[in-house]
Amino acid sequence: MSKEAAKRKREEYEMQLFGFHSRAVYARLEDIVREKIRSRCEKLAECIEKKYTPDEEALRVLRSETERLVKVYHEGCQPHLKTIYTATNKFVHIPDNVLLNEDKSQAVQYTEEEFEKMKSTLENLQKRTKRATILNAALKQEMEDLEQFKDFKCIAERLCNVIENAIEYPQVDMKIAKLQQAYLVLDNHLKQLKTTSYKEKHNPKIDNNELESVDLFS
C-alpha cells in the first residue's frame, strides 16, 4: 500500500470515529492563518490610505504592495504551518490498536496460507454436512418403512389367526349359512303380510313348522 493510500485510509477511519479527519482540521487552521494575514495587511493599507490620501497612481501601488506583503507573510509562515500540520496529525489520530465495533472482526489477521487452509476445512465440513443430511433422510425413510411394516405385520397376524380359527372350527361357517337361510325365510313372510293393525304388523303370524325346518345346530 502506497503512502498516500495509507493516509487516505487513516483519514477515512478518523472520519468514521470522530466525524472529521486531520486533513480537514489542518485545512481549516490554514485558512484561519491566511485570513488573519490578509485582514492585517488590508487594515494596514486602509490606515495608510486614510492618513496620506494618495492619488490614483499611489493608490494602485499601495494595493499592489499590499498583495505582495500578503504573499511574503504566507511564505514566511510556512514553517509554522508545517508545525501546525504535525501537531494536527498527532492529536487527531487513531492508534493502530484501536478498532471500531464494525472492524473488530478484523482484529485477527490471517496469512494467505492460513486462509486457504481454513477454506479447505470449510469445504470439507460442507461436504460432511451434505452427506449427513442425505443419510438422515435415508434413515428417516427407513424408519417410516419399518413403522408401515409393523402395521402390515399386525394385520397379517390377525388374518392368520382368523384363518387358523376357521380351520379349527369348520362348523362355524355352516351355522352362519343356516342362520342366513332362516333370516331369508322370516323376511319373506314379513313381506307377504298384509298390515291391518299395529299389533299384527309387529306380531306377525308365522307357521312354526317352516321355522322348525331350519335347523341351526345340526
Which set of grid coordinates corresponds to residue 148? 408401515
Q: What are 112-151's pLDDT values in tens digits?
A: 888 889 889 999 999 999 999 998 888 888 888 777 777 7
Averaged pLDDT for residues 29-55: 93
Nearest alpha-carbon partner for 84 in 36, 39, 43: 36
Domain ranges in the chain?
3-101, 111-168, 170-218
Task: Please give the torsion angle defined by the CA atoms of residues 178, 183, 188 and 193, in that order, rounded to the nearest 10 degrees.
Answer: 140
In our burial notation (b when 16+ CB lie closer than 10 A, e otherwise), range 79-113 reads eeeeebbeebeeebebeeeeeeeeeeeeeeeeeee
SS3 147: helix
